[in-house]
């Protein structure tokens, strides 16, 4: 049991979890408790099936206002997400009493401001995540760039009790609460649905989400697979589409590269960050530091998880047909991406990042601070684009 759990620990080990589970079938079933979130009407609005919600009618759902665009955003979610890490202590200790006082005063002002930042539709977003999970990082990059305020709940990867309300047992999960919670599963569905919601003037979020149904099937090995229809498609009318994309090609290109991120780029992360025993240990050290672990749990995770992932990384390398030297695939992907962006352009989206830029950035960012990231920066042409992305997201944050 303990070994299975450790296996689930790595947020970078999203692939591993399934493999491990298959190996020790049955042990984890107790963890996947079906849950329900009580809504305003006392009814369960959140999907409790493994499929995406909203294929069946929900009682008590409040249609979300299309006035989302009009509201001012803030960074409360981010700040609260960091609360557990003792931000106050760090800031107070580092900057001294005077600075701390300024900070406290600043916080008070911010709190007042935040009270005026309630979205028109009353929609509150909560992102359930592992900080170092590439899928979650992708969603965060999207939310941050679009200045959509959100609370962050760091899920404990061992028990995952923070998402016990959900029968969908992966992260990211985005809960949009407009009186009743609407649950969005899968990073690309979350991004497509939320982008549609930000732009579309006609549709409620509930309606938008209904356009991304979950399709369940079994693969050739008899394993259950869930696919989401329209995953990369934005549900916009002709006029909205024309406003967003300079051309049909630009729209298709964005979809193509978003797919590439999910089908190829993410698979390069684990084999690269767990490439050697030393790198695997450094990766798990980072995962444990950033994640929501108990202290004993964390220690256990660090060493056992690193050892397990070193071997699993090799298996993943084979499964995805990576070269023996996995760095070469990472370098190639980075340079392929730079080439796709093009010479005279800042981003694939032109002067502003599009959803593909945000997806690539979100995935690569989880390697920051690790050797694989430094090697990629040193051996490819991706650095200027990456820096522009970092600046673009920081500039948005600075506006608030």
| Catalytic (active-site) positions | 130, 133, 135-136
| Site stretch for ligand GSH (CB under 6 A), options 142-150, 169-177, 192-200, 359-367 | 169-177
Nearer residue to ligand GSH within complex by CB, 110 or 259? 259
Q: Tell whether residue 23 is a contact of ligand GSH (CB under 6 A).
A: no
Q: Tell whether residue 193 is a contact of ligand GSH (CB under 6 A).
A: no
Q: Tell whether residue 293 is a contact of ligand GSH (CB under 6 A).
A: no
Give residue number: closest CB to ligand GSH.
14
Q: Tell whether residue 14 is a contact of ligand GSH (CB under 6 A).
A: yes
Q: What are phi and psi of 129, to 5 degrees?
A: -150, 165
The length of the chain in residues reads: 400
Q: Tell whether residue 133 is a contact of ligand GSH (CB under 6 A).
A: yes
CA 170 – CA 184 distance, rounded (Å): 11
Q: Tell whether residue 140 is a contact of ligand GSH (CB under 6 A).
A: no
Q: Tell whether residue 366 is a contact of ligand GSH (CB under 6 A).
A: no
Angle between helices 355-365 and 187-199 (to 10 degrees): 140
| Site stretch for ligand GSH (CB under 6 A), options 81-89, 168-176, 301-309, 337-345 | 168-176
CA angle at 201 for the pair 199 and 203, rounded to the nearest 5°: 100
Q: Tell whether residue 135 is a contact of ligand GSH (CB under 6 A).
A: yes
CA 212 – CA 130 distance, rounded (Å): 23
In the shown chain, the binding pattern of residues 81 to 120 toward ligand GSH, with x for contact by CB under 6 A and - for none, equals ----------------------------------------
Q: Tell whether residue 320 is a contact of ligand GSH (CB under 6 A).
A: no
Nearer residue to ligand GSH within complex by CB, 13 or 380? 13
Q: Taking the complex as a whole, how short is the minimal distance between the CB of residue 171 and ligand GSH, in angstroms?
A: 4
Count of residues in contact with ligand GSH, rule CB under 6 A: 14
Alpha helices by DSSP H, 116-247:
134-145, 187-199, 205-209, 238-244
CA 331 – CA 337 distance, rounded (Å): 10
34-38, Cβ contacts within 8 angstroms, sequence gap of 24 or more:
34/167, 35/164, 35/165, 35/166, 35/167, 36/165, 37/165, 37/175, 37/181, 37/183
Q: Taking the complex as a whole, how short is the minimal distance between the CB of residue 225 and ligand GSH, in angstroms?
A: 11
- Between the alpha carbon of residue 386 and those of residues 187, 346, 375, 390, the distances in Å are 21, 10, 14, 6
Q: Tell whether residue 357 is a contact of ligand GSH (CB under 6 A).
A: no
Task: Answer whether 64's CB lies under 8 Å from 176's CB.
Answer: yes
Q: Tell whether residue 11 is a contact of ligand GSH (CB under 6 A).
A: yes
Alpha helices by DSSP H, 10-161:
14-23, 76-81, 87-115, 134-145
Q: Tell whether residue 18 is a contact of ligand GSH (CB under 6 A).
A: yes
Q: Tell whether residue 169 is a contact of ligand GSH (CB under 6 A).
A: yes
Task: Answer whether 148's CB lies under 8 Å from 17's CB.
Answer: no
Nearer residue to ligand GSH within complex by CB, 17 or 175? 17
Tabulate helix, strand, coil % of the chain (nearest 5): 55, 10, 35
The residue written with tokens 């107790």 in the block is 30
Q: Tell whether residue 257 is a contact of ligand GSH (CB under 6 A).
A: no
Strands (E), the chain: 124-129, 150-154, 173-177, 181-185, 214-218, 224-228
Q: Tell whether residue 158 is a contact of ligand GSH (CB under 6 A).
A: no
Nearer residue to ligand GSH within complex by CB, 66 or 367? 367
The one among 188, 204, 272, 380 contacting ligand GSH by CB under 6 A: 188
Binding residues (CB under 6 A) for ligand GSH: these are 11, 14, 17-18, 130, 133, 135, 169-172, 186-188
């Amino acid at each position: 049991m303990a070994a299975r759990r450790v296996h689930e620990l790595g947020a970078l080990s999203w692939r591993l979890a399934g493999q491990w589970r298959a190996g020790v079938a049955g042990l984890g079933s107790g963890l996947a408790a079906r849950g329900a979130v009580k809504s305003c009407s006392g009814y369960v609005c959140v999907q409790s099936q493994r499929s995406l919600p909203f294929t069946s009618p929900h009682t008590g759902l409040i249609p979300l206002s299309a006035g989302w665009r009009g509201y001012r955003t803030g960074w409360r979610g981010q700040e609260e997400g960091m609360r557990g890490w003792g931000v106050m202590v760090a800031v107070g200790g580092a900057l001294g009493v005077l600075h701390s006082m300024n900070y406290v005063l600043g916080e008070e002002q911010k709190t007042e401001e935040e009270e005026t930042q309630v979205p028109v539709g009353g929609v509150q977003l909560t992102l359930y995540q592992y900080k170092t999970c590439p899928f979650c990082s992708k969603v965060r990059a999207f939310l941050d760039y679009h200045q959509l305020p959100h609370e962050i709940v760091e899920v404990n990867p061992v028990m995952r009790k923070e998402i016990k309300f959900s029968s969908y047992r992966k992260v990211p999960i985005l809960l949009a609460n407009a009186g009743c919670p609407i649950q969005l599963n899968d990073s690309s569905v979350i991004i497509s649905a939320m982008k549609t919601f930000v732009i579309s003037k006609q549709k409620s979020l509930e309606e938008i989400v209904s356009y991304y149904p979950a399709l369940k099937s079994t693969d050739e090995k008899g394993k259950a697979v869930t696919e989401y229809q329209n995953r990369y498609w934005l549900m916009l009318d002709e006029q909205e589409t024309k406003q967003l994309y300079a051309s049909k090609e630009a729209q298709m290109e964005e979809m193509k590269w978003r797919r590439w991120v999910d089908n190829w780029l993410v698979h390069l992360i684990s084999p690269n960050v767990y490439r050697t025993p030393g790198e695997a240990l450094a990766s798990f050290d980072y995962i444990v530091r950033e994640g929501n672990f108990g202290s004993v749990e964390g220690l256990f995770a660090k060493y056992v998880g690193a050892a397990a992932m070193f071997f699993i990384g090799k298996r993943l390398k084979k499964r995805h047909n990576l070269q023996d030297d996995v760095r070469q695939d990472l370098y190639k992907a980075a340079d392929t991406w730079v080439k796709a962006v093009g010479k005279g352009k800042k981003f694939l989206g032109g002067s502003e990042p599009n959803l593909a830029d945000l997806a690539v950035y979100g995935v690569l960012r989880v390697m920051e601070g690790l050797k694989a990231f430094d090697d990629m920066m040193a051996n490819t042409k991706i650095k200027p684009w990456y820096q522009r992305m970092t600046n673009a997201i920081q500039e948005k944050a600075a506006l608030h």
